[in-house]
């Protein structure tokens, strides 16, 4: 009997110990749960500057590819790649031997035509006197007159041929069509060039155009924000101002990270959206007085955009739901509700600029938001 009572006592003691452990564990978990802290922040609408970064390629305000207008062997190259050349400056000399012979031949033909003209003139004048005295018939006179006119035409034809020969000779000297920076195309002295061979290109870099692409949504947002509309002269605002006067000035960030020293303006935005890419081409123009920029470089356009009535909220406050962002707003009773918002990442990367979904004076959870669900109490 004593042995039985002892076992029952032991079992009872074990149950009590287990219950105490469970209660202790629950108490600790409850204590840990109450230790979770949710920081909040009251947000207010503000006007903030957001910088849009757009890849761009740089082009001279005028770029001309130079082709020969005469075929032949290159005898001289009068330029160095990358240097500045002036309009009319000789660049390439093509062999002139044949062209000079054509000029000489045309000059000889002209001299012969002039001599023939003088002969027919004398004959015609002589026949005029004889016809007045009835010595020759009118037929002979008319024949003489026609021969004189044919000789006149022959002289004009010979003059034209000489002009063509001289022009062809001039084509052997290829000159620069504009003032700018020259880029060679690999031809060397002694090589033959034909009419479809590009010798070089010249770029007028006094101004540089940065070509960039806008997406269709960016274009629509831009037109709506600045009240732009399409006109025969391009995009203008409702008051007739050109886009260069209406849009904010842009800066240019070079590949080495440096910012170009002159601001530029948007001078053109295309009117047709490319169906394949969904983009439209735009151009921003920058002055280039020191030739610091060169055609063919790539850079990044930086366009500052003023955003009105937006809320600056720490990134930690956001809960990502696939491609959407949700923020927890604290209600008057201290519970939270999730709000889907339209937001973009700030340039610093530490905040979101919330464009809609929140109201001025809302209290938002900015720490611990990922542990929340609708209806939970945070204060």
Over the chain, what is the mean pLDDT? 88
Q: Does residue 15 have a pLDDT over 60?
A: no
CA 57 to centroid of chain Cα atoms: 5
> Is a pLDDT exceeding 60 seen at residue 266?
yes
pLDDT digits (tens, 9 = 90+) for 156-193: 999 999 999 999 999 999 999 999 999 999 999 999 99
Count of CB atoms within 10 A of residue 73's CB? 13
Residues 6+ apart with CB under 8 A from 306: 47, 48, 49, 50, 248
Can you give the pLDDT at residue 36?
55
| Superfamily name with CATH number, domain 97-171 | Helix hairpin bin (1.10.287.470)
List the alpha helices (DSSP H) in the chain.
Answer: 2-34, 97-132, 138-171, 216-225, 243-246
Higher-scoring residue by pLDDT: 118, 13: 118
What is the tens place of the pLDDT at every residue in 52-104? 899 999 999 999 999 999 999 999 999 999 999 999 999 999 999 999 999 99
Q: How many CB atoms lie within 10 A of CB 282?
A: 25
29, pLDDT greater than 60? no
Chain centre distance of CA 367: 42
CATH 2.40.50.100 fits 68-93+173-198, yes or no: yes
Asked if residue 131 has pLDDT above 80, the reply is yes
Question: Which residues neighbour 298 within 8 Å (Cβ) at sequence distance 6 or greater?
Answer: 55, 56, 57, 58, 255
Q: Is the pLDDT of residue 28 over 80?
A: no
Is the Cα torsion angle 124, 127, 131, 137 positive or negative in sign? negative
* Residue 7, pLDDT above cutoff 60: no
pTM of the model: 0.66
CB atoms within 10 A of CB 151: 20
Q: Mean pLDDT across the stretch 316-337?
A: 94
DSSP string, 171-200: HTEEE-SSSEEEEE-S--TT-EE-TT---E
Residue 237 has pLDDT above 70, yes or no: yes
pLDDT surpasses 80 at 30? no
Angle of the 97-132 helix axis to the 138-171 helix axis, nearest 10: 160
Instruction: Measure the CA–CA gap between 2 and 4, rounded to whole angstroms.
Output: 5
For residue 368, pLDDT beyond 80: yes
Lowest mean pLDDT among 20-29, 99-108, 195-204, 248-257: 20-29
The CATH number of domain 39-48+308-371, selected from 1.10.10.410, 1.10.8.60, 2.40.420.20, 2.30.30.90? 2.40.420.20
Query: pLDDT band at 271, cuts 50/70/90?
Result: confident
Please, are residues 301 and 284 in contact by the beta-carbon 8 Å criterion?
yes
Provide the pLDDT for residue 376: 93
Average pLDDT over residues 121-126: 95
Residue-range domain boundaries for the chain: 39-48+308-371, 53-60+205-305, 68-93+173-198, 97-171
User: Is 70 exceeded by the pLDDT of residue 18?
Assistant: no
Q: Please say if the pLDDT value at position 360 is more than 70.
A: yes
Span 117-134, average pLDDT: 94
Report the C-alpha gap between 199 and 20 in whole angstroms.
95
The mean per-residue pLDDT over the stretch 311-334 comes to 94
pLDDT tens for 36-49 read 578 999 999 999 99
> Using alpha carbons only, what angle is made at residue 185 by residues 182 and 189, rounded to the nearest 5 degrees?
100
CA distance 39 to 23: 30
Contacts of 344 (CB under 8 A, 6+ apart): 50, 352, 353, 355
- Say if domain 53-60+205-305 classifies as CATH 2.40.30.170: yes
């Amino acid at each position: 009997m004593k042995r039985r009572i002892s076992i029952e006592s032991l079992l009872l003691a074990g149950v009590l110990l287990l219950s105490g452990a469970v209660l202790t564990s629950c108490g600790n978990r409850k204590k840990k749960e109450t230790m979770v802290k949710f920081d909040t922040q009251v947000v207010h609408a503000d006007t903030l500057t957001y910088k849009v970064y757009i890849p761009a390629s740089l082009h001279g305000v005028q770029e001309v590819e130079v082709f020969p207008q005469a075929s032949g062997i290159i005898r001289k190259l009068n330029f160095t790649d990358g240097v500045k050349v002036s309009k009319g400056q000789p660049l390439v000399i093509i062999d002139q031997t044949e062209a000079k012979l054509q000029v000489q031949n045309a000059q000889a033909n002209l001299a012969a035509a002039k001599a023939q003209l003088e002969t027919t003139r004398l004959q015609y004048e002589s026949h005029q006197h004889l016809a007045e005295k009835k010595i020759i018939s009118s037929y002979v006179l008319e024949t003489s007159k026609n021969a004189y006119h044919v000789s006149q035409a022959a002289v004009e034809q010979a003059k034209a041929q000489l002009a063509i020969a001289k022009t062809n000779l001039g084509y052997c000297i290829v000159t620069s069509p504009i003032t700018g920076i020259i880029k060679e195309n690999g031809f060397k002295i002694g090589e033959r060039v034909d009419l479809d061979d590009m010798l070089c290109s010249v770029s007028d870099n006094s101004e540089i155009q940065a070509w960039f692409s806008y997406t269709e949504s960016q274009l629509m947002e831009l037109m709506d924000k600045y009240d732009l509309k399409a006109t025969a002269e391009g995009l203008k605002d409702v008051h007739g101002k050109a886009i260069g006067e209406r849009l904010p000035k842009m800066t240019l960030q070079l590949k080495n990270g440096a910012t170009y020293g002159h601001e530029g303006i948007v001078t053109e935005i295309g009117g047709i959206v490319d169906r394949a890419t969904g983009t439209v081409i735009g151009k921003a123009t920058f002055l280039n007085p020191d030739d610091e920029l060169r055609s063919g470089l790539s850079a990044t356009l930086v366009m500052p955009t003023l955003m009105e009535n937006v809320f600056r909220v720490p990134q930690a406050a956001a809960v990502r739901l696939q491609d959407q962002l949700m923020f927890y707003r604290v209600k008057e009773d201290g519970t939270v509700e999730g709000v889907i918002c339209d937001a973009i990442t700030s340039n610093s990367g530490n905040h979101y600029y919330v464009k809609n979904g929140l109201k001025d004076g809302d209290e938002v959870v900015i720490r611990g938001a990922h542990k929340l669900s609708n209806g939970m109490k945070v204060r």
